[in-house]
Structure 1
Amino acid sequence: MNAALIAAKGATMPLVAPVAAVARADEAQILEAALLSGAHVLLEGPPGTGKSTLLRQVARDREIPFVLVEGNAELTPARLIGHFDPALVLERGYAPEIFEDGPLLEAMRSGGLLYVEELNRIPEETLNVLLAAMSEKEITVPRLGRVVAAAGFGLVAAMNPFDAVGTARVSSALYDRTCRISMGYQSAEAERDIVAMHSPGIDAAWRSKVVVLVRASREHDALEWGSSVRGAIDIARIAVELAQLRGVAVDDWHVGLAAAKVSLSGRIRLHDSTGRSPEDVVREMYERVFGPEPTDDSTHDSDPEGSPGEP
């Protein structure tokens, strides 16, 4: 089974190894209140703002099933709802017991939460199926019949409103059926705490500079948008491993630059008129935060720009 089909089929998330959403107490409380009231919710915000983590936390606290489906152009109504096994149909006909539930029916029957990522990448006909389930709390499946949602069923969708590549405009009908929670980037303190959770044992001062670097990418004039806190996490993790491979300290200037380039160059989006490479912009920001390249670094015999390990 290919990756796209696995994503479309959905997955019930086990409530283990809990990770709390950092500095999202208000949003968690509002989301829980909305779901308890029977409302469906739309989480809007850029990547890396904790939308999935927030929902997992609420689902875990309420001890209810959590079904994840990744939104993309291949998420057809059949993949969302489910299907009859063709081989068994030939043998037994359209018997209800041979119907394989898709993520929507899985969430409806279990009274769980259906979490749809990248809502604005879903085809219109699939969105229409979601609208019906949200409005009536039931759907009618050909040859299967009427499926009524169990108590507790709710839909939570997430989308990045700033990403227009490969997306479609979400209809007013869907907005009318959801409550919207806007999730912006967290504070610098919260992002430092998040990076510390994922990279313990690193010097706090250096780690704080990494967060400053990533946050600066969101305000750079040459960039349409910058990196989420995931960029800072990757910089810290890669720097640890690269420093060990090179036999230098984690806060080595060249190690940090290499980690920053590989971690951020694919996450930032340049304005079309910029005329610069992502690596060039990353280096500029890096030098502003960590200072210019050392000229008396005896641990490097040559410019790391030409080293094989440099992205």
Structure 2
Amino acid sequence: MTIDALSHVEDADTLRDNRARIAARLVGRERELELTLAAVAAGRDIVLEGPPGTSKTTILRAITDEWGIPLLFVEGNADLTPAKLVGHHNPARVLREDYSPDNFVPGPLLEAMQRGGFLYIEEFNRAPEDTLNTLLTAMADRSITVPRVGRIEALPTFRVIASMNPYDNVGTTRLSTSVHDRLNRLAVDYQNAPEEEQIVTLRTGAAGPLAERMVADAVAVTRATRDHPDVRQGSSVRGAIDTTLVAERLAALRGCVDPVAAEYPELIFDAMVVALSGRIHLDEAVETTPEAVLREIWEDRFVLEPRQAAPG
């Protein structure tokens, strides 16, 4: 789909075709895709609120690929100044030539506006307030005036897309009413277990009885980190992907080829320690370690659950 074709994006058949082609690139996420696509096709900016690893970037990349426009990433943090977002004059050229539009280096905001792309700001609520305020004019007027450069008009496909993690409030700022008023919002939660197993299988290329069991176990223990009482934020599906990949290499090193072998459960625990211990964030009030929490989750999976399922 070209930028010229976007003038017809309100056509129902065109939009449905977009959705079908984009959905073919995703695992699940039908509702989230439909709502996000409807918002950006309507010309709206949107904030996607959810934990990491919930396919937010995948959805946006699929939409921009379908539309044939760029997706520009910006990390929201205290160092994201208005000048970094908008752009700056090349200091060396300024000394030689003085200020001019020719020696202005566009930042990601202007680049997205000029190329008609999506400006995707991750950890949106970590950016300084004055930087977020810089976006207000761009979102409201689809244009911005830069001193010594002039007025920059955005192409029709320009959108501001933000993401926020509701589980992490450390180092974040409260968004102003003005910013909230200019953004649509969609909550994006974790996918279900079968969808996460499908994602892990696709990302790892896991095949065969041993790999299939590794995928199921990796997803199960990863999901359990999100519900453990001592964990403030558990791991995303990326933890399950890495647990599977590490477990496969450990199995090769240790010569484990049977998913019911006696050494298999401990192999999975070792992979969990490597892949998950740095991805779980414990409650500050508890006195435990990531390894202890993972051992408890492992015991629930490999000791308690098999006994509960045993006859009698």
For the aligned pair, the TM-score class normalised by the smaller chain equals 0.7 to 0.9
Give the share of equivalent positions with the same residue, in percent: 45
Residues 1:234 and 2:242 are matched in the alignment: yes
The 5 Å alignment of 1:1-311 reads 20-202=25-207, 203-249=211-257, 251=259, 252-291=264-303
* CA distance in structure 2 between the partners assigned to 1:275 and 1:184 by the alignment: 28
Distance 1:231 1:103, change over 3 A: same
The one-letter code of the counterpart of 2:253 is L
- Superposed displacement of residue 174, structure 1: 1.4
SS of 2:163's equivalent in the other structure is strand
Q: TM-score, structure 2 length as denominator?
A: 0.84
Distance in 2, Cα, partners of 1:264 & 1:250: 24
Question: CA–CA distance in 1 between the matches of 2:250 and 2:145?
Answer: 55
Q: CA deviation at 1:271?
A: 1.9
Displacement after TM superposition at 1:154 (Å): 0.8
SS in 2 for 1:291: helix
Coordinate RMSD, CA, aligned: 1.7
Counterpart of 2:6?
none
- Residue deviations 1:161-189, cap 9 Å, x none? 22011211122221110111110011111
| Higher mean C-alpha displacement, 124-133 vs 197-206 | 197-206
What is the SS of the residue equivalent to 1:68? strand
Retained in 1: the 8 A contact 2:54–2:189?
Answer: yes
Task: Give deviations 1:132-184, integer Å, cap 9, x for gaps.
Answer: 21111111112112111121111111110220112111222211101111100
The amino acid that maps onto 2:63 is: V
Moved more, 251-260 or 114-123: 251-260
Taking the aligned partners of 1:250 and 1:129, their CA distance within structure 2 comes to 58
Which ranges of structure 1 fall in alignment gaps of 5 or more residues?
A: 1-17, 293-311
Contact 2:214 2:244 in 1 (8 A): no
2:11 match: none
Give the TM-score normalised by the residue count of structure 1: 0.84
Q: Deviation at 1:250?
A: 7.8
Which ranges of structure 2 fall in alignment gaps of 5 or more residues? 1-22, 305-312
Q: Are the aligned partners of 2:239 and 2:275 in contact in 1 as well (CA < 8 Å)?
A: yes
